[in-house]
Structure 1
């Protein structure tokens, strides 16, 4: 049973990824985390591997070892890079770097684990996208790659539905993480306007996203696939 309940989480060291790991660990999953740096306060019993997720060569080597340990219950492709530039300042090298982290890493992880899931006749893949996929100023690269995550999610859902593998996306809105505050300075007028527009009246917390991920990973959530679940405090209502 333990082997069947393993879940791989990328970008697992902080922010949303760390909250996802903690929630899944509390729910009894055998969590395997990957990130560039290992947290000092990692929960006891949580497996963790340091790797540069933007390096296809490094990631392939690690994934080969992990996949050989048996089938995984789930995969959470969480790692991501936020790039904030108006169109005039967009650099192609920044785009290539974001594609490697936001898209290629997810593809490599899914390729490594899907065989075991299909053989077991069961699997859950959750890809972390963003509300920015609907469009956001100064987010050309981020919006493009996170919209790509949604496109991949829908495609994979169709490819693997008959094998018992569901694939869904979670698209957070404003979430109080280091990445959010780096891209949205807390004393900036634009940030204040953004936060004031959240219908539920507060910024989201990483645990809000972790709750959505836990739902989509649940064995009982087998009739939901190819969907994008916005965790945004109501900000996307009418926006799409």
Structure 2
């Protein structure tokens, strides 16, 4: 399959790129910069597009020029949060207006503009798939106070619902992955059992998310997963 991963340079995005390349898929990675430590085996099909979503119009134009005309799947894994998010120091009233506008531009505006360019390329596939990595912070009664990040992830669910209905007749499978707290310190090179120990049950290894994505990509073209909520087992919010 020919798969684009937006936000592929580190953390979950990097794990997805590493895992899907290992599976033999052709991967198009998108991030601000190409990682310097990519270890590409012979025969691996990898393309990288450098684009900074902080400037949505420029980034979208750059990606649209460089992306293949045909894609089988897009994994949209991009999202930024407040400087003090997920800490006791977070305070909505301390967020600057400029920081809020930047988050909305990156998390919502750039997403909509880029998907407008990429969906037609997906529709050329026999089995078009769009996977949006959301967050449990964007769910109702999430228990999180981060206003702008939560709002942007709630918006992502709306984008998924609307795209699903807009292109249902073209068999576009749209999945929203609502992910809890991730262990982004340990990549796929770290054994799963070891990665699962970090956080004492409160952090999801990226290995598990990669396994879920592999499952989604392996489904037939007559079924799809609409939404999957995936918190850590000791996340008391769920």
**TM-score under structure 2 normalisation?**
0.80
Query: Helix, strand or coil for the counterpart of 2:48?
Result: strand
Give the corresponding residue for 2:205. 205
- Cα distance 1:103–1:138, how it changes in 2: closer, same or farther (>3 A)? same
Report the counterpart of residue 9 of structure 1 in structure 2: 5
User: Which of 160, 166, 169 matches 1:159?
Assistant: 166
Provide closer, same or farther for how the CA distance between residues 202 and 109 of structure 1 changes in structure 2, counting only shifts above 3 A.
Answer: same
Q: CA deviation at 1:23?
A: 1.5
Counting only pairs closer than 5 Å after superposition, residues 64-213 of structure 1 correspond to structure 2 as 64-67=64-67, 69-83=68-82, 84=85, 85-134=90-139, 135-177=142-184, 201-213=201-213
Provide the C-alpha distance between the structure 1 equivalents of 2:148 and 2:237, rounded to a whole number of angstroms: 24
Asked if structure 2 preserves the Cα contact closer than 8 Å seen for 1:171 and 1:231, the reply is: yes
1:38 aligns with 2:34: yes
Runs of 4+ in 1 over 3 A off after TM superposition: 119-122, 234-239
1:158-192 deviations in Å (ceiling 9; x for gaps): 111210211111121111126xxxxxxxxxxxxxx
**8 Å Cα contact 1:121-1:165 kept in structure 2:** no
1:91 to 1:53, Cα distance in 2 relative to 1, 3 A = same
Partner of 1:58: 58
Aligned to 2:188: none
CA contact (8 A) 2:49 2:63 kept: no
In structure 2, distance between residues paired with 1:31 and 1:160: 24
- 1:23 matched to 2:23? The reply is no
Decide which structure has greater helix share: 1
Tell me by how many angstroms 1:18 deviates: 0.3
What is the alpha-carbon distance in structure 2 between the residues aligned to residue 173 and residue 128 of structure 1?
10
- Deviation for aligned residue 1:106: 2.1
Instruction: Report the Cα distance in structure 1 between the residues aligned to 2:219 and 2:209, rounded to whole angstroms.
Output: 18
**Equivalences, count:** 213
| TM-score computed with the length of structure 1 as normaliser | 0.79
CA distance, structure 1, for counterparts of residue 202 and residue 237 of structure 2: 19
Larger mean CA deviation between 20-29 and 133-142 belongs to: 133-142
SS in 1 for 2:36: coil
> 1:140, 1:72 → 2: CA distance?
34
In 1, Cα distance between equivalents of 2:162 and 2:138: 16
Q: What CA distance in whole angstroms lies between the structure 1 residues aligned with 2:216 and 2:108?
A: 20
CA contact (8 A) 1:170 1:213 kept: no
Whether the 8 Å contact between 1:133 and 1:146 is mirrored in structure 2 is yes
